Amino acid sequence: MVHEEGKRFILANLEEIDSGDVDAIVIPGGFSPDALRIHQGCLDLVRSLYEKNKIIAAICHGPQVLISAGIVRGKSMTSYQAAKDDLINAGANYEDSPVVIDGNIITSRVPDDLPDFCLKIIQKLLE
């Protein structure tokens, strides 16, 4: 754990994370998913969390990581409009809604949806 000016965060190698120690993962949008979706450690972690029914949240282009992890077929999801066809082609049921929850997968579209997205993640963590 790293401490800096009253903030705490963890620097972690994805391959070293034990999915049993994790309650949730939040996958950001923007350009980050381009790197994460080709990172084998990230894909393995997402699959392991999915198999353990842990919370997987993704916003904007983040659901593309879930596509690469192979966990979207038959799931209801949303994303940034540019990723819509990717989700549909991977077998997901696309919904143009601020937040879509299917089991323990929470997806959202854009930064304007962040308040609802964050609230749903918190509610799911409290279940």
Nearest CA to 107 among 63, 48, 49? 63
Of 3, 39, 42, 60, the active-site residue reads 60
118 is catalytic: no
Rounding to the nearest 10 degrees, give the CA dihedral for residues 115, 64, 76, 44.
Answer: -100
Report d(CA 77, CA 62) in Å as an integer.
11
60 is catalytic: yes
Of 3, 42, 61, 118, the active-site residue reads 61
Residues classed as catalytic = 60-61
